[in-house]
Chains A and B, each alone.
Chain A
Amino acid sequence: MIRPGRDDDPDRLYTVTGGRSRAASKDFDLVTLVVSECDPVPGMQSEHAAILRMCRYPTAVVEIAAELGLPVSIVKILLSDLLDSGRITARHPQTTGAAARGRPGQPVAAQLPDPTILEQVLVGLRNL
């Protein structure tokens, strides 16, 4: 298991991401569920391999960050690499209805969640 340890040394983070500070794809939410589409292969960057092992079952971005001991924004960059090369798929959160979903630029906080989703949450909580 790769555990680089918690460390916000910018030099190390620079190395992990190959010098990039922003994900090419800004699609990843904290709770986007990531699923591996392949196994790690020899020679792969160790963080990429760790993510592929971790995500054999759906795993949220924030869980990956906690497990790797890396800041969330760094993990998003690593995930963008894997997504672009087809090694993972991403299941993005759906909180609003189909009509309101996916409108870039609209403040998400201003959108109230879909009533169907709220009902699901309520039922789930009551069953705890």
Chain B
Amino acid sequence: MDSATSDTSRSSSGSRAPLSSTADNGLKIVIVGGFGVGKTTMVRSVSDIRPLNTEETMTQAGRGVDDLTGVTGKSATTVAFDFGRITLNERTVLYLFGAPGQERFWFLWDRLFSGTLGAVVLVDTRRLADSWYAIDRLEHHGTPFIVARNDFGGPRYAPEEIRDALDLDEEVPLIECDARSRESSKQVLIALVEHLQQLAAAASAGTPVPVAAAALPHGVHGETS
């Protein structure tokens, strides 16, 4: 299902292409989505390097420190995630993380992704319900995000239908994309940063920033067709 793997023709030199010695600021953007929705594909489309995979573990030794509430019967929780890298200028490097949306992952969100610029929720309209939890958690954490619908060629829905099905705040941009396309994936990231700029402008103008606004009452979960 998740056809994107760690090999690519773009970077035959492997993952160890070094950054410039002047690089001094690493930034994060997280792409969140269900299994097979195209997270790794999107990371690979825009990354300068072959996507790498790593993991974070809450070990038994971390008990008493980590919040294991709700992780019943588990002595350790491990989540794996992919990432890629884009050199923006001689000093600034953007790291893109493909993060699984499943429940256990969110126990590690703060440790891994505090300070992230923002998130892209990648959705497949055939399985919109997979995204509900991720959207809820991002709102809970106050992380700004946009929603990008990866085009799998399925039935087309009007943006309003997708918004309703996701119970999406009207402030949150919803865009279409093709995660296989470098240009399209780049436009998704640009849309996120422009959204962040609008939020920052609103904040400096003194208006409340509805980043973590409560769900609007209009949305009705369920059929969209």
Q: Cα distance A29–B164 when bound, in Å?
A: 36
- Pick from B126-134, B154-162, B173-181, B195-203 the stretch touching chain A: B195-203
What chain B residues lie within 8 Å of A126 (beta carbons)?
Answer: 190
What chain A residues lie within 8 Å of B112 (beta carbons)?
Answer: 30, 72
In the complex, per-residue mask of A62-87: 1 if CB is within 8 Å of any chain B CB, else 0 = 11011100011110000000000000
Q: A73 touching B56 by the CB < 8 A rule?
A: yes
Q: Cα distance A126–B94 when bound, in Å?
A: 13
- CB-CB contacts below 8 Å: B172-213 with A: 182, 186, 189-190, 193-194, 196-197, 199-201, 203-204, 209
Total A-B Cβ pairs within 8 A: 174
Partner of A33, one of B46, B93, B113: B93
Partner of B59, one of A21, A58, A108: A21
Q: Does B21 contact A (CB under 8 A)?
A: yes
* CB contact under 8 A between A120 and B92, given known A8-B78, A21-B59, A112-B209: yes
Q: Does B20 contact A (CB under 8 A)?
A: yes
In the complex, per-residue mask of B20-33: 1 if CB is within 8 Å of any chain A CB, else 0 = 11011111100000
Instruction: Please classify the interface of chain B as helix (H, G, I), strand (E, B), loop, or mixed, using the class held by over half of its residues.
Output: mixed
- CB-CB contacts below 8 Å: B49-65 with A: 52-62, 65
Q: Does B69 contact A (CB under 8 A)?
A: no
What chain B residues lie within 8 Å of A113 (beta carbons)?
Answer: 117, 196, 200
Q: B24 touching A112 by the CB < 8 A rule?
A: no
Smallest distance from the beta carbon of B202 to chain A beta carbons, Å? 9
Q: A62 touching B54 by the CB < 8 A rule?
A: yes
Q: Cα distance A87–B85 when bound, in Å?
A: 25
Q: A118 touching B197 by the CB < 8 A rule?
A: yes
Q: Does B224 contact A (CB under 8 A)?
A: no
Q: Cα distance A6–B18 when bound, in Å?
A: 23
Residue of A nearest to B182 (CB): A128
Q: A121 touching B19 by the CB < 8 A rule?
A: no
Residue of B nearest to A69 (CB): B54
Q: Cα distance A62–B93 when bound, in Å?
A: 13
- Sample of 7 more A-B contacts, CB < 8 Å, known A21-B59, A62-B95: A14-B61, A30-B26, A57-B23, A60-B93, A93-B115, A109-B142, A121-B117
Interface residues of A (CB under 8 A from B): 6, 8, 10, 13-14, 21-22, 29-33, 35, 54, 56-60, 62-63, 65-67, 71-74, 91, 93-95, 107-110, 112-113, 115, 117-126, 128
Write 9 A-B pairs (CB below 8 A) sorted by A numbering: A8-B59, A10-B76, A66-B15, A67-B16, A94-B25, A109-B142, A115-B200, A121-B117, A125-B186
